[in-house]
Copies of this chain bind each other. A is one copy, B any other.
Amino acid sequence: MSTGDDRLVQSVDPDHPANLIPSLCAKFWTLGWVTGTGGGASIRDDEHVYIAPSGVQKELMKPSDLYVLSLPQTLARHGESGDSDGPIRPSSRVYLRSPARFKPSQCTPLFLSAFTRRGARCCIHTHSAHAVLVTLILEQQGASEFRINNIEQIKGFARGYPHAEVGNLGYHDTLRIPVIENTAHEEDLTEFLEEAMERYPDAYAVLVRRHGVYVWGNSVEQAKGQCESLDYLFQIAVEMKKLGIPWESDIKPTLPRKSIKGQ
């Protein structure tokens, strides 16, 4: 039997977080992002945080499988914990609703970082093979940053947290995604994720070496769109590597004819 208020995950609205997380995860499963119960997704709806549990078959998840956490109560308890500048500890989390079986996802503190440090509304974590391969290629090069420019899909990314008002990246801009090293326990990634967020205030995503990627957004649509665009770029990057084509290039803007004529 579940604990807490089941009505929090009962809605006839397909866009309610409790319905959206299962439909998103089923879609992600077909894309190979959440294979073998890996990966996950979380949506914040002002005060409530909806999270897929650990170990669930993502393509078969039901609304009743979800956890619901109170963000204000969790933050209050976190503030009282005497460790309020670090990641939110499990003991600070206040669950308003827990499913009968399953355990909380180990991704929980990482999702909470996206919500509290970036004001995100949705955070997606994938184990996409493309993401993992990109971190392996970078490892060969001793690099901890994925950089790519001059690919149209780069426009699919917002310019980042403090600059949200200035729109998306441009075609000639360089997309930079930090790579953090994987830890034995997923929760231990949290402080490294938060550190990367500080070093890359523009980033909407963090790669985890030999593990996958965390992507967030100011809305579910933005998080999903950025996650799709990023996976597409990772896929192309792996193929570019096989074909001997560098990820960064020095391409001069093509001016429209009128600009050339000075019109």
Contact = CB atoms under 8 A, between A and B. Distances in A.
Count of chain copies: 4
A252 to B, nearest CB: 9
B239 A133 contact: yes
A152 interface: yes
Interface stretch (A43-51, A64-72, A113-121, A229-237): A229-237
A132 interface: yes
Given A129-B232, A184-B171, A245-B140, A35 B153 contact: yes
A100 interface: no
A243 interface: yes
Interface in A116-140: 127, 129, 132-133, 136-137, 139-140
13 contacts: A36-B225, A37-B228, A38-B232, A55-B225, A127-B232, A133-B243, A137-B245, A152-B208, A171-B183, A172-B184, A183-B254, A188-B255, A192-B257
